[in-house]
Amino acid sequence: MRVSWEELYERIGACERCGLRRGCTQTVPGEGDIHARLMCIGEGPGAEEDRLGRPFVGASGQLLDKMLAAIDLHREQVYIANIVKCRPPQNRQPSPEEAEACLPYLRAQVALIRPRVILLLGATAARNTIGPEVRITRDRGRWVERKGVWMMPTYHPSALLRTPSLKRDAWTDLQAVREKLRELEQEGERIVHDEA
């Protein structure tokens, strides 16, 4: 799907590719810096996101803000999106069919933003991007590179709220994200310098 941002948001707003739209208040396409080097991908909107039309604004969103602050980033400096753009009923996990139906929108977002790093929040985000074989406890913190984009799964903020002892690993992952962004920036500067 090669589209402009305007067209993409329009298509998401009018989407009826799966049954989720009928059960939600509004679509939650995503938000943030459309030139961001870091993109964060979650699972799908919860109650607060559904009410406000914005991603990660409930309890897990507040924790995500803190996670970003830990690596000196503010939510306006990254782009935040979800695998599905409509709230699944009772916050259940989106089915594989629902995720599949919604993925073209996420792919279009990634193509427009061209982030250098993608932080995958939780198993749903990781499995629908890296592959169904991902196990979050085993694979968190591991980099996967695809076409120059570095992706890393980590725990979803809601998992960290449920099990605070996981925070230590999540913080390690975030430090690695910060390091990768730095590395890529230096690499970019070197290329610009060499070409000058």
Q: Is 82 in the site for ligand URA (CB under 6 A)?
A: yes
Which residues 6+ apart lie within 8 Å of 155 measured at CB? 121, 122, 136, 140, 166, 169, 170, 173
Give me the least distance between CB of 2 and ligand URA, in Å please.
26
Please state, in angstroms and as integers, the Cα–Cα distance from residue 101 to each residue in 17, 38, 56, following that order: 6, 24, 21
Burial class of 21 by CB neighbour count within 10 A (0 to 12, 13 to 18, 19+)? middle
Binder of ligand URA out of 44, 88, 115, 153 (CB under 6 A):
44
Binder of ligand URA out of 20, 27, 37, 45 (CB under 6 A):
45
Q: Is 139 in the site for ligand URA (CB under 6 A)?
A: no
Q: Which of residues 97-136 bind ligand URA (CB under 6 A)?
A: none
Give me the least distance between CB of 61 and ligand URA, in Å please.
6
Using DSSP's 3-state secondary structure scheme, residue 146 falls into strand
Q: Which of residues 57-76 bind ligand URA (CB under 6 A)?
A: 58, 60-61
Burial class of 187 by CB neighbour count within 10 A (0 to 12, 13 to 18, 19+)? exposed
Beta bridge partners of 131: none
Q: Is 150 in the site for ligand URA (CB under 6 A)?
A: no
Beta bridge partners of 155: none
Give me the least distance between CB of 45 and ligand URA, in Å please.
5
Give me the least distance between CB of 187 and ligand URA, in Å please.
31
Q: Is 49 in the site for ligand URA (CB under 6 A)?
A: yes
Give me the least distance between CB of 182 and ligand URA, in Å please.
27
Give me the least distance between CB of 67 and ligand URA, in Å please.
13
Q: Is 32 in the site for ligand URA (CB under 6 A)?
A: no
Which residues 6+ apart lie within 8 Å of 24 measured at CB? 45, 50, 86, 87
Q: Report the interface residues with ligand URA, using CB under 6 A.
A: 42-46, 49, 55-56, 58, 60-61, 82
